[in-house]
Structure 1
Amino acid sequence: MSSAKSDQLLEILRDGGLTTLPAPVQLASGQWSRYFIDGKEALAAGADLRLAAEAISERVSDAGISFDAVGGLTLGADALAAAIALVSETNWFIVRKAPKGRGTDRRIEGARIGDGDHVLLVDDVVTTGGSILQAFDVVQATGAEVVAAVTLADRGDDAAREFAQRSVPYFPMATYHDLGIPRVGEEQAAATAG
């Protein structure tokens, strides 16, 4: 489903977040690519971040899904979670990559989530889904229900399969196809085959 805000968000991601590099770089997933997507840079302007939050909230709402808290794994989810919480008037939280090791030693900061909470998971860029799926496991362990997952850009197909297996609606705001880049792994396979 396309909307004016989703179309604007795609243009922001293409123009401000997608860089074609002269040589491949290793992504957080371990994959290599010449195409680097930086969701944080793309949404550095407050107006662009607000537009992304509104487009995401609209996409989830149009699917008939409601949530009381939004968050995901730091650092990719941080700005998105706060912005979506503002426009949707919900709570935000951030999942640490590891417990802090002091103080309260929590893995989840911000809103306390648990039984009865309906959570929207977010991330900026997904390649294989490792970060957003790690956040999913941490949230599930609290007793909260993940009602949907959203990413700004998805470079592959793995996360969609994983969320389908978990019966969780998954909404990439832009796919590799939308951005006009190869699916993760295709670029590397073509280079080694050639």
Structure 2
Amino acid sequence: MADQQLLTIMNERGVIRFDEPVQLRSGGYSDTFLDGKKALSNGAALRHACQLMIDAARADGVAWDAVGGLTMGADHFAHGVALLAERDWFSIRKQPKGRGTNKWVEGGSIGPGTRVYLVDDVVTTGGSIQEAYLRVTELGAEVVYAATMADRGEVAAEFFAVRDIPYLPLLTYRDLGIAPVERTE
């Protein structure tokens, strides 16, 4: 069951409705845009959502060493969850910057033996959180849990279920009363 405080925050601050459908990062279209960053731009709202993510993993008995995901949808959760749970955070670039260390992953060290908690703000067809999964597993880390504030469909749940990784959307399209966005090919 959805957390009513988070649902109120999202509905009041993060749900934007348009007269005509707009294109989403996934390539799909919707007349409803979910702005997770705007919804949680207030410290108390962000703390609440991050604590829900921590509580969910703990309730499922999952221990993790580092939390993060693809920038920038995961960044505020990575920082908030890491701070509240006293864990490392990391951020995955969309592409290496081409200078300095030229790394995909910044922040905490991710590698063999690292238990990773993947996070994102809004998942539509799962492209960003799946890319994050691939980047950290390429480094030898083990993804032990994944969560998002809002999931607009079923694709990410299927992706993690096949890999036997617990996945929790704090809010679903059903909770928000919106139509699911289907996978685009």
More helix by share: 1
Residue 90 (structure 1) aligns with: 87
Within a 5 Å distance, the mapping from 1:73-88 to structure 2 comes to 73-88=70-85
Question: Which of the numbers 125, 130, 133 marks the counterpart of 2:130?
Answer: 133
Structure of higher CA gyration radius: 1
Which consecutive residues of structure 1, in runs of 5 or more, have no partner in the other structure?
Answer: 187-194
Q: Secondary structure at the match of 2:106?
A: strand
1:124 counterpart = 2:121: yes
1:131 maps to amino acid:
S
> Structure 1: how far apart are the matches of 2:182 and 2:138?
31
Question: Which of the numbers 53, 62, 76 marks the counterpart of 1:56?
Answer: 53
> Structure 2: how far apart are the matches of 1:185 and 1:96?
26
Q: Please state how far the C-alpha of 1:11 moved relative to its aligned partner.
A: 1.6
* Conserved? CA contact 1:9–1:55, under 8 Å: no
Give TM-score, length-normalised by structure 2: 0.96
Could you list the structure 1 runs, at least 4 aligned residues long, displaced by more than 4 angstroms after superposition: none
Give TM-score, length-normalised by structure 1: 0.92
2:155 maps to amino acid:
D
Q: Please state how far the C-alpha of 1:141 moved relative to its aligned partner.
A: 0.8
Within a 5 Å distance, the mapping from 1:24-173 to structure 2 comes to 24-173=21-170
Q: Please state how far the C-alpha of 1:32 moved relative to its aligned partner.
A: 0.3
- Count of residues paired in the alignment: 183
Q: CA RMSD in A?
A: 1.2
Q: Please state how far the C-alpha of 1:185 moved relative to its aligned partner.
A: 3.6
What is the identity percentage for the equivalent residue pairs of Structure 1 and Structure 2? 52
